[in-house]
Amino acid sequence: MEGVEQRTEDGAGGVSPQPLASLEHWMSRYQQADPAAPDALIASISPALLRFFRYNSASREHAEDLLQETWLKIHRMRHSYRPGEAVLPWVYAIARHVRVDSYRRVRRIVAHEASADVLPEAVGRKDVVESTLQFDALVAQLPDSQREVIVMLKAAGMTVEEVARATSTTVGAVKLKAHRAYESLRTFLTSRPPQRTGKSEGAQ
Amino acid sequence: MNCADIDRALARQNTLPPDALTAEAGEHVRNCPRCRALLEVLSAPPSDSELRPELASAIREHIGRNLVAVRPLRPARYYASGFALIFLTPIAAGIAILRASGIAGMSAPMIAIVFGGLAVCGGLLAISLAAEMAPASRRLLPPAALIGGILLAVAAILWALFPYHPETRFWLQAAKCLLLGIGFAAPTAALAWALLRRGALLSPAVSGAAAGLLGGLAGVAVLEIHCPDWNVAHILVAHWGTALACAAAGLLAARRADPPVRTGPPGPVLR
């Protein structure tokens, strides 16, 4: 939960942080066109959303584009939020869909360029590979479905139940993916000492 | 306790970073460098992802320009009832308009299985369609699996209950029934789609297929009530074919109305 509660940065335009419990309150106000509500929601949710996109193989620039696209969708779909329900699964279901759409779009473009004898760039991977943060580097090696679960749990601070709703699966399926992700992370950790970072690897 | 037990214990936790482990697990972690490393990684604060002020302003500005009050969706059961009503209306119309030659010859168990099965499938679809209207709704099954499951279940019921016998003018009879079924199914699917559009569809193609199938099932029910031809080949081609054709048409129509992948490279949206 702290992932969403903690932000207060000026990066969000000087808006005070909103504790998670009040996200539902702000979402209802947003539906009633309260001008303060979008500010509060953007400040509370966006940094974690940005992390979600970055962990899921997006470069900073691509992640920002996905974030904008997500907010456009959130705005268009805001009537479909039912007051009293948890906001994060609703937001991440939309974000996840934006990410999948973007992935398909990029794949189509890359396939087109490949057919035109242009070498495709591995879109979005560069920043993750260059990351000096161990978690980023480790999580980038996980399969998509496991990474998504771990990132929602860690970067977004969601509970297993919330992740299950956001990904349209069951709690059991989320726990199974998390279990497999921990096994994979352990394997990566044993094959790669934990103290090493992207930078030091490059130096070596 | 071993490393695999720690993985299982972590997976049982509700959040990350993990809450306190049991004494036994804690003991293992203290003595196991691999588990300690894993827990350190999972407990580390997430990496910094500051939102650039210009980006936040651009999003705020766009939203502020288009900020009007909206009425939130009603509870899912309200829409599920709506879809159920949309499903039942053409069946009632079929009973009123057409002769009930098909159902007249059926035994009570056959009626219970055929129409009970169709009612259960229609009900499940109505609940699923209502869930489709809002992201992150609780679902009984993934919609695509439900659509496939219903098509298979209906085909299995019809195949198991009706006998095969060769018939003359098979294709002519099949075409007549197919057209009649689609005549009832199409307006039903269109109404279901109109109600669906009041929500926010994340996967319009799947939702379109589900709306089409709801109409198709209503068409199957009308045909089972009306059609006296009990040849299983006719029933599968013409009656079940109505459901299949409507689901496929719904999928294609929804894709056409709302293509899932827009052309053009990914790029800044608000800049």
The predicted structure's pLDDT at residue A19: 53
Asked whether residue A19 is assigned to any structural domain, the reply reads yes
| Listed residue (A134, A3, A130) closest to B38, CA to CA | A134
Asked whether residue A184 is assigned to any structural domain, the reply reads yes
Cα–Cα dist A17/A86, whole Å: 18
CA end-to-end span of chain A, whole Å? 37
Asked whether residue A107 is assigned to any structural domain, the reply reads yes
When pLDDT is averaged across residues B198-213 and rounded to a whole number, the result is 93
- Residues B115 and B10 reside in one and the same domain: no
- Residues B107 and B195 reside in one and the same domain: yes
- Residues B47 and B122 reside in one and the same domain: no
Q: What is the mean pLDDT of chain B?
A: 87
Q: What is the pLDDT of residues B66-96, one digit of tens each?
A: 899 999 999 999 999 999 999 999 999 999 9
Q: Is the pLDDT of residue A165 over 70?
A: yes
- Residues B212 and B123 reside in one and the same domain: yes
Asked whether residue A204 is assigned to any structural domain, the reply reads no
When pLDDT is averaged across residues B36-55 and rounded to a whole number, the result is 76
Asked whether residue B40 is assigned to any structural domain, the reply reads yes
Asked whether residue A203 is assigned to any structural domain, the reply reads no
Q: What is the pLDDT of residues A129-145, one digit of tens each?
A: 333 357 777 888 888 88
Q: What is the pLDDT of residues B129-188, one digit of tens each?
A: 999 999 988 887 888 999 999 999 999 999 999 998 888 889 999 999 999 999 999 999
Alpha-carbon distance A96 to nearest alpha carbon in chain B (angstroms): 10
Among the candidates B47, B68, B89, a domain finishes at B68
The predicted structure's pLDDT at residue A109: 65
Asked whether residue B163 is assigned to any structural domain, the reply reads yes
- Residues B141 and B204 reside in one and the same domain: yes
Q: Is the pLDDT of residue B263 over 50?
A: no
- Residues B32 and B85 reside in one and the same domain: no
Q: What is the mean pLDDT of chain A?
A: 74
Q: Is the pLDDT of residue B268 over 80?
A: no
- Residues B223 and B145 reside in one and the same domain: yes
Q: Is the pLDDT of residue B106 over 80?
A: yes
- Residues B80 and B63 reside in one and the same domain: no
Domain range for B187 is 76-257
| Listed residue (B17, B135, B16) closest to A95, CA to CA | B135
pTM (2 d.p.): 0.79
Asked whether residue B250 is assigned to any structural domain, the reply reads yes
Asked whether residue B211 is assigned to any structural domain, the reply reads yes
What are the distances in angstroms from CA A65 to CA A49, A50, B38, B91? Answer: 12, 10, 32, 48
| Listed residue (A105, A191, A178) closest to A146, CA to CA | A178
Among residues 162-201 of chain A, which lie with CB inside 8 Å of chain B? 165-166, 168-169, 175-176, 178-179, 182-183, 185-186, 189-190, 194
Structural domain count, chain B: 2
Q: Is the pLDDT of residue A127 over 70?
A: no
Asked whether residue B265 is assigned to any structural domain, the reply reads no
Asked whether residue A138 is assigned to any structural domain, the reply reads yes
The predicted structure's pLDDT at residue B244: 97
The residue type of B14 is N
When pLDDT is averaged across residues B238-266 and rounded to a whole number, the result is 80
A185 compared with A66, residue with greater pLDDT: A66
Confidence of residue A58 (pLDDT cuts 50, 70, 90): low
User: Phi/psi zone of residue B169: left (φ > 0), alpha (ψ -120 to 50 degrees), beta?
Assistant: left
Q: What are the structure tokens assigned to A184, written together?
A: 């994979």
- Residues B141 and B212 reside in one and the same domain: yes
Asked whether residue A68 is assigned to any structural domain, the reply reads yes
Among residues 16-45 of chain B, which lie with CB inside 8 Å of chain A? 16-17, 34-35, 37-38, 40-42, 44
CB neighbourhood size of B93 (10 A): 15
The predicted structure's pLDDT at residue B110: 93
Question: Which chain B residues are closer than 8 Å to A189 by Cβ?
Answer: 34, 37-38, 41
Structural domain count, chain A: 1
